[in-house]
Amino acid sequence: MTLRLGCIADDFTGATDLANNLVRAGMRVVQLNGVPGAGAPPVEADVDAVVVALKSRTTLPADAVAQSLAACRFLKAGGASQIYFKVCSTFDSTPRGNIGPVLEALMDALDCAFTIATPAFPDNGRTVFKGHLFVGDVLLSESGMRNHPLTPMTDANLVRVLQAQLATRGDGGRAPRRVGLVDHRVVGASAAAIGERFASLAKGGVSIAIADAVANDDLLRLGAAVKDLPLVCAGSGLAIGLPANFGIAPSGTAAALPAVAGFQAIVSGSCSEATNAQVARFRDAGGAASRIDPLSLADGADGALVAGIVAWARAQWSKAPECPVLIYSTAAPQDVAAAQAKSGGRELGARLEGVLAAIARGLVAGGARRLIVAGGETSGACVQALGVARLRIGAQIDPGVPWCHAAPALAADGMHLALKSGNFGGVDFFERAFSVAT
């Protein structure tokens, strides 16, 4: 058994983002969708890190705590010597949680007196300076995140944001936890200086330190400094600084995936600007594409629609077996608004996710073995419909989007999956992805 790092991610695409960074830093990584049940196979021996993907970002705090503790127990039982609680790089949370309550529960479970929290990921424009989170050039509280429907972030001061989420009464003999700061001057100096700052903060009664980081070098120094902490809390950025603590250096072999043989397909339910451009590019280049128009969805006819599209895909493959097919409901904002006006946003979204997931199943049953899914929610629905419980993480196609290998019952010979959250990927993503070596 070689498992070293156990990761708990509070949402699905965030888990993949973290796994992708760990692979790029040289770790061999498996992502699990949820905490495996009692009968699940053990973690493979050739895996350095496991990322358990939860759906705990916006659930009730008690549920998020229970899920996270179950994941923590699983990872510790598998041999993990350090736990990484992965949160969003915009620190998505509310005054009731869930970052604070989960972090406190993990600290209790791991007997951890001091830890850090930093969502910094400079490569993605997330930097922390004097405890304040910037998204690109603006403070978090001035970014689009201030209007987020579930987790509006109206304060960029993470020391204050996290402190407000912690229990106000201590447990047993312990005082309530306090949040402090390791600022950029210390982080910019050396790992040893950061370690000294940890010690002095802990001595002064601080249990959790927000850590500044404005560049990758800061994350590398921070990574070295947290070597002996049983728990860290971060976005996916800190991942670049951890593998070295385990004697692991970047290497191409970490990303190697088992080969697969079969057809290629893309299923797209994202309506983001980036995905709209990617779909247009694929079509303009003459790719075989079939559009699902939500306005033409007839009551109770989803089964026939799915069967028709899968038959169309098979016909395309029999003409050109090496060419990918694209099935998409991706649409421009005015078309999305028109469809939502007719059917209601949530209801229509869930229905389209169901249709696209059933199509993904049909495509895989028909021999697709390399599948791209565009859209975070759409990816979740497809992964569930395909019965994918574990993914081995491979080479990155574009930042945050790796190829993965899975072998669900429907494709027991193995398949490659790329799960693209809406705004990720260059305009030629769909064409280029299939030529990335895996």
In the complex, which residues of this chain contact ligand ADP (CB under 6 A)? 269-272, 275, 294, 329, 331, 336, 339-340, 348-349, 352-353, 375-378, 421-422
In the complex with ligand ADP, the residue whose CB is nearer, 321 or 344, is 344
Closest to ligand ADP by CB, 11 or 104? 11
Q: Which residue has the tokens 């699940």?
A: 40
Which residue number, 339 or 415, has a Cβ lying nearer to ligand ADP?
339
Report, in Å, the least distance between residue 295 CB and ligand ADP: 9
* For ligand ADP, the closer CB: 89 or 207: 89
| Polymer length of the chain | 438
Do 30 and 44 form a contact (C-beta atoms < 8 A)? yes
Q: Which is nearer to ligand ADP, 105 or 352 (CB)?
A: 352
Residue 255: partners with Cβ closer than 8 Å, 6 or more residues away = 23, 24, 393, 394, 395, 396, 402, 438
Q: How far is the CB of 118 from ligand ADP (least distance, A)?
A: 25
β-strand partners of 8: 52, 85
CA 414 vs CA 102, 178, 226, 367, 411: distances in Å: 35, 48, 37, 11, 5
The alpha helices in 320-394, defined as continuous H runs, are 333-343, 345-365, 376-386
Q: With respect to ligand ADP, which residue has the nearer C-beta, 219 or 297?
A: 297
Q: Which of 130, 254, 250 is nearest to 182 (CA)?
A: 130
The total of other beta-carbon atoms located within 10 Å of residue 113's CB is 12
Please calculate the CA angle 259-264-269 and round it to the nearest 5 degrees.
Answer: 120
DSSP category for residue 94: B
Type of residue numbered 203 = K
Q: How far is the CB of 181 from ligand ADP (least distance, A)?
A: 33
CB of 112 to ligand ADP, least distance (A): 34
Other beta carbons within 10 angstroms of residue 203's beta carbon come to 9
Q: Could you give the CA distance from residue 191 to residue 180 in angstroms, rounded to a whole number?
A: 18
Residue 81 vs 343, nearer CB to ligand ADP: 343
**Which residue number, 264 or 421, has a Cβ lying nearer to ligand ADP?**
421
Least separation in angstroms between residue 203's CB and ligand ADP is 44
- DSSP-derived letter for residue 97 is B
**Which C-beta is closer to ligand ADP: that of 25 or that of 309?**
309
Q: What minimum distance in Å lies between the beta carbon of 350 and ligand ADP?
A: 7
Minimum CB separation from ligand ADP for residue 303, in Å?
Answer: 17
Q: What is the β-pairing status of strands 132-135 and 138-139?
A: antiparallel
Min CB(270)–ligand ADP separation in Å: 3
Residue whose CB is less far from ligand ADP, 225 or 433 = 433
Tell me how far, at minimum, the Cβ of 429 lies from ligand ADP, in Å: 13
Residue in the shown chain whose Cβ atom is closest to ligand ADP: 422
Amino acid at 44: E
Amino acid at 314: R
The distance in angstroms from the start CA to the end CA of the chain is: 25
We find the least distance from the C-beta atom of residue 405 to ligand ADP, in angstroms, to be 22
With contact defined as beta carbons under 8 Å apart, do 351 and 297 qualify?
A: yes
**Residues near 146 by beta carbon (within 8 Å), at least 6 away in sequence:** 140, 152, 153, 154
